[in-house]
Amino acid sequence: MKKIKNSFGGVIGGLILLVVGTCLLWWNEGNNVKNIATTNEVEKTAIEVKSDKVESNNEGKLVIVSDKLNVVDEKVEDPDFNVSTKTAKLKRKVEIYQWEETENTDEDGNTTYSYEKKWSEELIDSSNFNKSGHENPTNVEVSSETFQAKEVKIGAFELSSSQISSLGTSAKLNVKDIELKDDYTYQSEYVTTSKDLTKPEIGDIRISWEYNDWRETTILAVQKGDTFADFVSKNDKKVNRVEKGTLTQKEIIAKMRNENKFIKWLLRAVGALLIISGYGAILNPLSTLASFVPILGGLVGGLLGLLAFLIGIIHSLLIIVIAWFRFRPILSIALIAVIIGLVFAIRKLIKSKKGTVDQPVETTPEQVVAEVQEPNTEQEEEQPTEDTDNNN
């Protein structure tokens, strides 16, 4: 009975998934159209400028600037651990060893919970865990934090604070020689409270530092004095990019388009998956009822799963098509016209081929008479031989 009750309760969750998936697909199509328009606008508007001098006639224009990343400050420091280095951005990464709960539901609707230990930057709340004995720490004395230089330049231009914040921190800082606080040791490139990092315990902390080591950098933003500001497109999309390396206008535009395509297809896949899962949850009560009949249980469950998949795909495609009519009406009409034209062309081609195959070969009366009157030369040539044999 509990099994049936749970399956019917999942119908509400399924409806929620349908709504969320539908809204995500609709929003994604509109957002993609805006991204495409913004990228096209950037392509037409952006100009490449030299970095060695700030030209006043470029004020307020969307510019592309490339040069070496120059950190004016001597060093960026983490004051809590006296860690410092010459960089535009430094990040202290603090991870806590904790329990993580995972919910598992089998084909019969039975729910179980599993627990595993993992390193995580975020505190995992264990107060809502379904089983006791997996308690996590509720607070830590130190947490992840980012530090950045006050002044960073690219040629004669100075990066804004938000641009410095957007810089990546992929290089690991070697901090083996720093002066450690009490209760901390240095193990395997980490500063840690663990007695043995190969066998950590719940509540142990490990700390590492990452920094920005970019050399050449490219900026795509609006020139504002000797610094930069956001570019706002006609559809209110903001553009302010800081890229690693020296990139041309074509390379930046290509990168923006590739990102747009990736996001579009990723969200399409996520939206479709939510919708398929929603239909699966809605049809699950039927599968649960059928499971009471041993022979039908697996068969009905498989068929309903396939049905949920097919309906979910159709639902997703329908939302995308309708969204195209909303956000790309001209393109949608043009595509429909092309499809209709192709259908008529294929039908016409099939009919013409069929007519050629079925059409009988026409023979004129003159050809028939000629065939009847034409002598059989082979028989005439053989006849004298027969007569000679008789005479003999």
pLDDT tens-place string over residues 238-282: 999 999 999 999 999 999 999 999 999 999 999 999 999 998 888
Q: What is the pLDDT of residue 339?
A: 64
Least confident of 202-216, 221-235, 328-342: 328-342
Q: What percent of the chain has pLDDT over 90?
A: 57
Q: What is the pLDDT of residue 124?
A: 95
Considering the domain boundaries, does residue 26 fall inside one? Answer: no
The whole-number average pLDDT for the span 6-25 is: 83
Considering the domain boundaries, does residue 237 fall inside one? Answer: yes
pLDDT tens track for 78-100: 998 889 999 999 999 999 999 99
pTM for the structure as a whole? 0.73
Considering the domain boundaries, does residue 6 fall inside one? Answer: no
Considering the domain boundaries, does residue 264 fall inside one? Answer: no
Considering the domain boundaries, does residue 390 fall inside one? Answer: no
* Domain range enclosing 71: 48-256
Considering the domain boundaries, does residue 293 fall inside one? Answer: no
pLDDT at 286 over 90: no
Q: Which burial class, exposed, middle or buried, applies to 368 when counting CB atoms under 10 A from its CB (0-12, 13-18, 19+)?
A: exposed
Overall domain count for the chain: 1
Q: What is the pLDDT of residue 317?
A: 87
pLDDT at 390 over 50: no
* DSSP H/E element including 85: strand 83-85
Cβ(200)–Cβ(191) below 8 Å: no
Cβ(235)–Cβ(74) below 8 Å: no
Considering the domain boundaries, does residue 74 fall inside one? Answer: yes
pLDDT at 384 over 60: no
Tokens of 10: 């999942």
Residue 386 pLDDT class (50, 70, 90 cuts): very low
Q: What is the pLDDT of residue 322?
A: 87
> 76 - beta bridge partners?
85
pLDDT at 200 over 90: yes
Cβ(121)–Cβ(97) below 8 Å: no
Q: What is the pLDDT of residue 378?
A: 45
Report the sign of the C-alpha dihedral through residues 326, 330, 333, 338, in that order.
negative
Q: What is the pLDDT of residue 392?
A: 39
b/e map of 203-230 (b: 16 or more CB within 10 Å)? ebbbbbbbbbbbeebbbbbbbeeebbbe
Considering the domain boundaries, does residue 391 fall inside one? Answer: no
